[in-house]
Amino acid sequence: DYNQADETWWQVAYASGDGAYYIGQPDYDASTDGFAVNLAIPIRDGQGGDVIGVLRSTFILQGFNHILLGVRFGRSGEADLIFPTGDVIGSVQSDGSEQISEIVDLATLSDLGANTAGYGIIPYRGMDHIVSQAKVTSTGLGEDAIAALGWYLVIYQDIMEIQEPVDTLTKYTLYISVGVFLIA
């Protein structure tokens, strides 16, 4: 398959000499037995004008899994990367293989994105969590290509864990109030 002119990455990166950065959506890559993203950039002549070629590479998403696993706060706070299809990446199997896991309810996340507070309590991953999301963006080279991906970073934490400090404070306030009442 020498001629790549029928591929989307080529058509965007070359674009009849007007090329732009291309970042694809995740696809299953049989050669790596995992999910990967195609990347392509136009190569211009010495004066920065005409596109004289395209440099293409494949980024294996397993690296994202490990990064997202490192996002922890408290006992239950985690992060997911969500694609426009609703597929979620954010966990690694016990055997080390990557996983694009369940499909989330995009309508719920869309409603959350419209929330001016930037967070909300919604059912997420099978139970109520406090959830916040942000669109994946970048500044500098390729920012338009990254913005066009429609990927979201979702941070979530068990609502019970979030309420623990308030519950503890309420309990101590009650104990102090009872103690003051008994002393009085």
- Over residues 111-139, the pLDDT tens digits come to 666 666 778 887 777 778 888 888 888 88
Percent of the chain surpassing pLDDT 70: 83
The winner for highest mean pLDDT among 36-40, 72-76, 115-119 is 36-40
Residue 92 has pLDDT above 50, yes or no: no
The winner for highest mean pLDDT among 99-108, 130-139, 172-181 is 130-139
Count of alpha carbons within 13 angstroms of residue 72, beta-carbon side? 8
Q: State the CB neighbour count (10 A cutoff) for residue 90.
A: 22
State residue 176's pLDDT score.
Answer: 81
45: Cβ contacts below 8 Å, ≥ 6 apart: 52
Give the C-alpha separation, 28 to 62, whole Å: 12
State residue 96's pLDDT score.
Answer: 45
Q: Which of 141, 147, 139, 150 is nearest to 20 (CA)?
A: 141
State residue 95's pLDDT score.
Answer: 45
- Record the tokens describing residue 74, joined without a space: 């408290």
How confident is the prediction for the chain on average, in pLDDT?
78
- Please state whether the predicted TM-score (pTM) of the whole model is above 0.85: no
Residue 22 confidence class, pLDDT cut points 50, 70, 90: very high
State residue 147's pLDDT score.
Answer: 86
pLDDT, greater one: 108 or 176? 176
Count of alpha carbons within 13 angstroms of residue 70, beta-carbon side? 5
132: Cβ contacts below 8 Å, ≥ 6 apart: 112, 118, 119, 154, 155, 156
